[in-house]
Amino acid sequence: MRRLLRSLGFFLARLFGTRLIDYQTGKDLGKALIIGWRGKIHVVGLETAVRAVFLPQQRLTYWKQEIGFTTQPPPDYPNERSAISRKSK
């Protein structure tokens, strides 16, 4: 029952939501429902993790700022493990 309600909620969020585009790359992130509640931004319906960022402005104003969404870049360090196993010590 819980899984059915969750999938129904995601369906409605994608149906009535807005299309999100990564502001750095221009890649389509999908459709989501964005809800501002008690000082927080809730993004419902996306399959990928996104990060909210303030978009750069031509003129600096604090009363009106635009928010964009971007994905976290993959780590730039190699996945290397030591040759010596920790169990053998």
What pLDDT does 48 receive?
Answer: 84
Question: What residue spans define the domains of the chain?
Answer: 2-74
What pLDDT does 83 receive?
Answer: 65
Q: How many Å apart are CA 27 and CA 31, to the nearest integer?
A: 12
Q: How many Å apart are CA 21 and CA 42, to the nearest integer?
A: 16
> ∠57-60-40 over CA atoms, to 5°?
75
pLDDT digits (tens, 9 = 90+) for 12-44: 888 888 899 999 888 998 898 888 889 888 888
pTM of full prediction above 0.85: no
Provide φ and ψ at 13, rounded to 5°.
-65, -40
3-state secondary structure of 36: strand
